[in-house]
């Protein structure tokens, strides 16, 4: 296996020590965002994304911690009954679990908190210390057609099949604050996060062995969140995910213009909740979850890396408004202790086209889902959903769209 970039000593000295120099101009990106590449004490990649109106200086402090060696790359095993690949990543058992704010591992380092990020930041992205995929990458020669060969091999099915879980798992910190979400950020900060997603999608798609790139945000303890810090993650998978395989089957049966037809239909329905020049959000016709919203670009775009600066500008504000509306649907809720609920629990998932196939038919799509089915009430996927994949919707999608439009209005 080939190790991920940044572990072979090939970086200039200041980057190997984990810090951009004070005179580093960085890399200008769209929207006025500036990218600065560094490394953590154990060699993991760290990337700072500075806001267009940042007050931070170019230089960053060195990560001076002494860290244990990274765990070995996990394995993926195939379920012969479905063909699905399952990552067996036992190192994840040691990750932080709801630490107090003063021990937040995603806050900038301080004398009392040797966290993962050595200096102040606007937005920061780094390799997960206990990843589900990686740090090893596929050692095959890209010129040898390894991508198509790997996809064909992965599509086979049989007993006892396993292989290394190559790829990458990254953490995306939306803010240095210790609580919040994407929706609680300013529009400027939201634009920086969108730029980071687009840049990381391009970078991870270029890594050997990566077949699909998936940015997402988990919000709320009901979802299983273990850190309240405003952050998301990006998985760079060594296979095309089961959800995407089902989508590819649907496109083959319905037609290559499936997304265009879907968007045209939904934009004329009462389930539409937000629309701009470049993006529209709607509650889907057959929503599985009590709260479920899809967001699509108006033109065919396979992933966030392929979006235009204008599309990213609009997305920052529109997506922020959508999530603030989702949060407002929990106004008046209380938690198990009787305290006001900290927003609506949700999963915000960016479904992107696979890296090597279906780029001209799969359109990037955001899917926001929440198990909240009423004040203090959650939907738990149980017998029918979890065991059979046969979903039963608790709420009428048209009514959900009406409530969400009202909540967006209250939150604006």
Catalytically active residues are 231
Distances (CA, A) of 5 to 12, 16, 45, 187: 13, 11, 8, 32
HSE-CB at 17 with a 13 A cutoff on CA atoms is: 11
Nearest to 395 by CA among 325, 320, 329, 350: 329
Triad 375, 376, 382: Cα angle to 5°:
115
Kindly give, in sequence order, each residue whose CB lies less than 8 Å from that of residue 406, ignoring residues fewer than 6 positions away: none
What's 41's DSSP letter? T
Spatial neighbors of 198 by CB under 8 A, at least 6 apart, are: 304, 305, 307, 312
Tokens describing residue 377: 């009430």
Sort residue 167 into left (φ over 0), alpha (ψ -120 to 50) or beta: left
Give the count of beta carbons closer than 10 Å to the beta carbon of residue 377: 11
Q: Looking up tokens 């002494």, which residue turns up?
A: 66
- CB 363, CB 354: distance < 8 Å: no
Rounded-to-integer distance, Cα 3 and Cα 10, Å: 12
Rounded Cα gap, residues 106 and 401, in angstroms:
35
Torsion of CA 214, 225, 170, 44, to 10 degrees: -170
């Amino acid at each position: 296996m080939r190790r991920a970039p940044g572990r072979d000593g090939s970086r200039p000295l200041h980057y190997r020590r984990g810090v951009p120099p004070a005179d580093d101009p960085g890399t200008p990106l769209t929207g006025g965002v500036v990218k600065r590449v560094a490394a953590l004490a154990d060699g993991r990649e760290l990337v700072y994304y500075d806001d267009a109106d940042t007050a931070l200086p170019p230089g960053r402090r060195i990560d001076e911690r002494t860290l244990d060696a990274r765990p070995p790359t996990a394995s993926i095993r195939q379920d012969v009954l479905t063909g699905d690949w399952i990552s067996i990543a036992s190192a994840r058992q040691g990750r932080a679990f709801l630490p107090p704010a003063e021990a937040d591992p995603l806050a900038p380092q301080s004398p009392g908190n040797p966290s993962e990020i050595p200096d102040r930041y606007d937005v920061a992205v780094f390799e997960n210390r206990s990843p589900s995929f990686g740090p090893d990458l596929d050692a095959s020669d890209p010129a040898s057609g390894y991508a198509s060969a790997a996809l064909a091999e992965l599509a086979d099915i049989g007993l006892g099949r396993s292989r290394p879980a190559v790829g990458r798992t990254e953490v995306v910190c939306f803010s240095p604050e210790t609580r919040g979400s994407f929706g609680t950020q300013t529009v400027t900060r939201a634009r920086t996060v969108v730029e980071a997603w687009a840049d990381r999608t391009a970078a991870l798609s270029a890594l050997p062995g990566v077949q699909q790139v998936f940015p997402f945000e988990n919000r709320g303890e009901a979802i299983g969140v273990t850190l309240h810090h405003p952050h998301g993650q990006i998985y760079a998978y060594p296979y095309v995910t089961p959800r995407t395989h089902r989508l590819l089957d649907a496109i083959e049966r319905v037609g290559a213009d499936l997304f265009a037809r879907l968007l045209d239909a939904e934009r004329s329905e009462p389930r539409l909740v937000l629309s701009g020049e470049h993006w529209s959000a709607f509650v889907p016709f057959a929503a599985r979850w009590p709260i479920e919203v899809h967001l699509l670009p108006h033109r065919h775009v396979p992933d966030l890396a392929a979006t235009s600066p204008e599309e990213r500008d609009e997305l920052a504000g529109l997506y922020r408004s959508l999530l603030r509306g989702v949060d407002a649907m929990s106004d008046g809720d209380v938690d198990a202790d009787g305290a006001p609920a900290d927003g609506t629990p949700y999963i915000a998932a960016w479904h992107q086209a696979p890296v090597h196939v279906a780029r001209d038919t799969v359109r990037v799509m955001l899917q926001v889902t929440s198990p909240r089915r009423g004040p203090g009430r959650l939907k738990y996927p149980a017998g029918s959903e979890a065991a059979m994949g046969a979903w039963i919707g608790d709420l009428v999608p048209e009514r959900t769209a009406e409530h969400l439009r009202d909540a967006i209005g209250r939150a604006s």
